[in-house]
Structure 1
Amino acid sequence: MNISIESSSTLTLQGFNLSSEAAIPAAIFAILGYVLIVFCNLVLLTTIIMNKSLHEPMYILLLNLPINDLIGSTALFPHIIKELLWDTRTIHFSTCVTQAFFIHIYATGAVFILTAMAYDRYVAICRPMRYNTIMNNSNVMKIISLVWLSNIFMIAVLFILLLRLPRCRSLLTHTYCDNPSLLQLVCANTSINNIYGLMTVAVTQVVNVGLIGFTYIQILIACFRNKSSDMRSKALQTCATHLIVFLIFECLGLFTITSYRLADISPHLRKFSGVAAMILPPTLNPIIYGLKTKEIRTKALKFFHRIVHPS
């Protein structure tokens, strides 16, 4: 029996357990949500790429955020929409692993990118005279390369450790595929996987949260020392926007990770937090950064004006 289950390439997801009447509105909501995320992130992406005046370190780093959001959303939404429309809860093992891989790339990448953006703001506000030297094109590309290469390496090792283990179950206790839910299919010693997974989370949180905490403390000190009220207000507004995005993602992400290790947590609450962590940041990021950043907002409006009223 174990052999037949292990050799099976089809997995079953727990799903949302919605009635047929509720599934269609939920699917429509999911489709509209995905379209909104893709549209807003493509607008942000296109606006930065098409305008040379935005080819500055802050916006080049910001460019990575919509790319990362599109990766995460595309890994999640098509599967959810398919499940809601056709009431199918089965998924091929290789598809499940691929989905989980890109979802983890998105989650880790979001933290790394926001940390790089916080560092950029720290240099701009606390070391303005050295900004162009520290954040030159070469260093910005090094930061971006470090963000993506370290992200891909960490997640690749995570899934190499997972794929070496034999499976003897086929039911996933989640609405989408991720490393913790795939580990629950394994009937072997997963100590190494658990240690590595917790270690990567711990190191990522300590390094990134520590860096962000340090940069914002320094930024606050610099702002209160600055005699210009306009400069202080602009700096605090920029940092507050960045901090809100980071805190929303951190709270949802950490709750989802913790929920797998707490038996008393409601599975419905785990489903909600897991899906919310994949939906809210990609939806809010382009809206917050697009509306709050005057330069991006102005360029985006001019772009749409040219489309509607071509001359």
Structure 2
Amino acid sequence: MKIQQLEYVIAVAREGSITKAAKKLYQAQPNISIALKELEASLGIQIFNRSPNGMILTPEGEEFLARAQTIVDEMQSLERDYAQTPENELKLKVAAARSTYATSAMGKLISDYSEKTDKIEVHVMETSTAKVMEDICAGKYDIGFIRIPSTYADMIESRLKARNLVGKTIMEFPLQVVMNMNHPLAQYEDIPYELLYNYPEIIHGDDEPEMMRRASINQDYDDKRSTKRIFIYDRGTQISMLKTVKNAYMWVSPMSQRVLKYNDLVLRKCSYANNLNRDMIIYRKASENSTLISDCIRTVFEYADKVEGLEI
């Protein structure tokens, strides 16, 4: 059994056909077909049922896929943790949930490295907190940023520890409201919560349950009272919508004054949002002594301090 065969099984299961998997992996279709048949023969099981509608996992195949995915994830994790990156090269994969300032800090890190490195290869993915934890644990990404209600902190830290992940709190804060500088409510320094119902709300598109929204904003928060809601996953699109959807608003963490000014936005307090949220940076315990991870942590904390101090 070879790792490549396991990767083929995962790709075929994900894509639903050998043809699509071959395109995804930049492999010849016959090579994958032969490899799968050899694997099934050596194991004495049938992993896929071949049908006119594509490749369908058998019950044995479902079990095999789960174990194959674990093995491939572990291999990727080992390679990322112990591969030696040349000093004149920056290779980094970042997974982030929501924190605009955190990805801005990564931009600062990249700029610093670009002055002393010959090659830069950085991948940044926006996703949910659960997916960040999953992908960091699997070794698909080097470092991640998550946001949780502070009341969930003990539970999340327990999960991180169980997965051999390290989590450091960057900042803790109540959510605030961001809106266009010409928004009718921009005149308030502390916005009365009941007035927000009259305006469209932009919501992060990972479709979090109402209990999470309550834990993030206020224990009495009622998700159903808001009737104008726009769910958007991408951060850039969220900012674009705040500029173009008339009188839209969004609950956010502290934001850079530079970003606000550039996009004609303002940040306002809303005392109703009295629950605290916590932004954390997470990474694998095996990466603790990595110079690059240390640089990431230092840069993010320095940037976060400036955002909180309204310096940037």
Greater fraction of residues in helix: 1
TM-score (norm: length of structure 1): 0.24
The structure with more radius of gyration: 2
**Which structure has more RCO (C-alpha within 8 Å, separation ≥ 6)?**
1
